[in-house]
Amino acid sequence: MMLAVSACVSAPGSAGGPATNDEQTVAAVRAVMEAQQAAWNRGDIEGFMDGYERAETTMFVSGDELTRGWQTVLDRYKQRYSSREQMGTLTFSELEIKTVSPVLAIVDGRWRLARAADAPHGRFTLVFRRNNNNWRIIHDTTTSATP
């Protein structure tokens, strides 16, 4: 499965300056999302959750529901996707990765699940934070499109 990725980098800078840091951030965040997609597509929800910060402050918003805490988000995923068939095949596309600060990045994009009976899809906005040189999701707002 191909991952369609476009990267939007904030302000340009001189060689070795902010643009280089932005490019490194974009590459690091993209790598986390590619690892998440690969984990999901092999049925590994725990591996998918490695993209999220393991903290009580991690938040997931979907519809009218707010889920707080890494473990609670993991439990939610396991409940909603309790079989390989329910998980389907995940594709991220139209990714726009923007550096906000040296330790924060925002990602907007689309998600789609290919399953035998349907193909749910929607959009997401993720806030990534860098901690000890690791980029992880601290806030995830995901919407589902009307079928």
**What are the tens digits of pLDDT across the range 20-58?**
679 999 999 999 999 999 999 999 999 999 999 999 999
Residue 69 has pLDDT above 60, yes or no: yes
Mean pLDDT throughout 107-129?
97
pTM of the model: 0.85
Percent of the chain with pLDDT over 70: 86
Tokens in use for 29? 């965040």
Q: What is the C-alpha end-to-end distance of the chain, expressed in Å? A: 23
Q: For residues 98 and 114, is the Cβ–Cβ distance under 8 A?
A: no
Q: What is the pLDDT of residue 21?
A: 78
Q: Which domains does the chain have, with CATH numbers?
A: 18-144 (3.10.450.50)
Of the candidates 129, 106, 134, 109, the one whose C-alpha atom is nearest the C-alpha of residue 57 is 129
